[in-house]
Chain A
């Protein structure tokens, strides 16, 4: 006869191990406003040193490596171009990359090390919101300028020293409105990832607001957990509601699955997603996803001259490969930092912050088109992208 206590102990141990593993994986540091900022390290106002060093905190491995690897390509191209351009005079811009994977602790630790080392002039911040929200308060309180790409949640822009070069999705989501009006959309269902702050806000606030502006009614709205894999039930419900359009505010890996299951459930209406549908994520759904549209801050075929200049340079460097939004954003972030340092004519961190402020006030033409800033947060006109079953194409171009 087995021992009941042994049985229970085994169960408790196994449950404890699982909880510990899940806890470690989910551990994040809180963000928040830290108030006043001290002056930066280093000497100020004495011109640029021979080498200007920036720390890039990237996820080159792990679940968001698709963003980190593409961003790295954009960074490398921008560094080459800054050197050719002569923007920094005789100084060399050097970007040291630290791969922190999905670890929030490692990201915060890398930022702390850079802050403690006076040779770093600025930080190119991590993509993941949890990592960025951990880095921001440290950088802000220590007077270290940080430029982020992605990192769309709250708690990232916490003061003078934090900037974001990826515009928030909410700011260009309206580009989908004209398309829906043309299609005479009257009803909509929404499926959103309730664990992702950006996607949840889009699903719960931005889409209903768009509906109120454009005259369509939300007939169903449902959330799915952050790691949801199967959307059969949600797809059946949406198919049963038979709306004119289904908004899928989901992550990249979730999007092709949800589209496939929606079509299998018999839904024939329009599908609107988010920029997570780009970067090749719809390829597994193939023709089933044909017709899906999403607003984006960048696509390789958008018409802005500065975007096309970037695309040509990128393709020349990477064997004809078309750049995606992650590469474009990181490219713009490097140019943003380089312009700020050039304006400051110093690597003193407080001076660099003032330089970045000035660049943000003026805006500039980058890979994403004409970049302007609302405070420290980038804005672009945005484009509406359509998946034709095999590739992305521009449906409406706000950058032209």
Chain B
């Protein structure tokens, strides 16, 4: 039982790490980035290429993954999303075009990674870090699981605090609520949008590297599967609410784990997404949509 709870928390933390950046960009600067899964995978892939050349430690790999993710996300924002936002007639049109552009852009890093790896899984076995398993009675936990739990919950709390208490965070929330008024009040919308996209990409890179350590290896297509789960967690928790995303990720992982433990497992995705569907029927804004409105 305790092992199942730990497994569910780990899975939820992985969903959360992935979804945090996506939720942050969507809930503040209005960018629903469907290339997030590809950035996540390509950051992990970039770190894999580096570790084939130089045996790197886990902190170095994380730093590399975060850096690659941030740069890629910034590039997508500057080269694709900003021009769309400038040219679109209204925010509604811009958002739809950004979604389509994100889906299209996602194919580029995916194709590169598939070409290089031939879709064979890749990992970090050439690095200096080796996963260690610790036993506490009947519970087994790896050091990577501990890092994932701490990173996911710690970063969620930090971002939630930053958006509520720090000056740039408040400015970002102001952009999310009323961009024109925020601009008139002196908020530099472009700078904050770039910062947000860099943070979102960095979080994707962090999630990619930690997931690769946790699983031992990932495939170029791994980001696609996580994109769907992260999207579900965001909708379930409430768009733009960091606490909501955290709860959504944990609920989704909890339901999946429960189904796996109590049934033959085949129905796990159907039941998990059935819960999501029911939630949308009852609370269209998600679990925390009402209390925290749309913006954090």
Residues of A within 8 A of B228 (CB): 18, 22
Question: Which one of B3, B34, B218, B239 lies within 8 Å of A17 (CB-CB)?
Answer: B34
Docked CA distance A252–B133 (Å): 25
A11 touching B284, Cβ below 8 Å: yes
Contact check, B95 vs A257: say whether CB atoms are below 8 A apart: no
Label chain A's interface by main secondary structure: helix
Of B103, B119, B265, the residue contacting A222 (CB under 8 A) is B265
Give the residue name and chain of the A residue nearest to B141 (CB): A264
B293 touches A288 (CB 8 A): no
Which A residues touch B188, using CB under 8 A? none
Q: A233-B8, A256-B121, A280-B120 are in contact. Are A194 and B266 (CB under 8 A)?
A: yes
The stretch among B57-65, B160-168, B219-227 that forms the contact with chain A is: B219-227
Are A236 and B34 interface neighbours, CB within 8 A?
Answer: no
Write the chain A residue with the least CB distance to B212.
Answer: A284
Contacts of A230 in B (CB 8 A): 10-11, 14, 214-215
Complex CA–CA separation, A194 to B263 (angstroms) = 13
Q: Is B129 an interface residue (CB 8 A)?
A: no
B190 within 8 A of A: no
**B225 A233 Cβ-Cβ under 8 A:** no
Q: Which chain B residues lie closer than 8 Å to A288 at the CB level?
A: 216
Residue of B nearest to A64 (CB): B119
The verdict on B269 contacting chain A, using a C-beta distance below 8 Å, is: yes
A63 with B114: CB separation less than 8 A? yes
A-B contact count (CB 8 A): 152
A253 touches B217 (CB 8 A): yes
B142 interfacial by beta-carbon distance below 8 Å = yes
Question: Are A284 and B99 in contact (CB-based, < 8 A)?
Answer: no
Total B residues in contact with A, Cβ cutoff 8 Å = 60
B89 shortest CB reach to chain A, Å: 16
Residue B131 at the A interface, CB < 8 A?
yes
Q: Which listed residue (A2, A9, A223, A232) contacts B266, Cβ 8 A?
A: A223
Q: How far is the CB of A21 from chain B (nearest CB, A)?
A: 6
- List of B residues within 8 angstroms of A317 by Cβ: none
A232→B10 contact, CB < 8 A: yes
Docked complex: A33-62 residues within 8 A CB-CB of B: 61-62
What are 30 contact pairs spanning A and B, CB under 8 A? Answer: A2-B293, A2-B294, A7-B294, A9-B92, A10-B239, A13-B92, A13-B95, A17-B34, A18-B228, A62-B119, A65-B115, A66-B119, A66-B120, A69-B118, A194-B266, A221-B264, A222-B265, A225-B269, A227-B225, A229-B225, A230-B10, A233-B8, A234-B265, A236-B3, A257-B121, A257-B218, A279-B120, A284-B122, A284-B123, A284-B217
> A interface vs B, CB < 8 Å?
1-2, 4, 7-11, 13-15, 17-18, 21-22, 61-66, 69-70, 194, 221-225, 227-230, 232-234, 236-237, 240, 252-253, 256-257, 260-261, 264-266, 279-281, 283-286, 288
Which 5 residue pairs across A and B have the least CB separation, nearest first? A284-B217, A260-B216, A253-B219, A284-B123, A223-B266
Beyond A233-B7, A257-B218, A260-B217, 4 additional pairs, beta carbon < 8 A: A63-B220, A65-B115, A230-B10, A236-B3
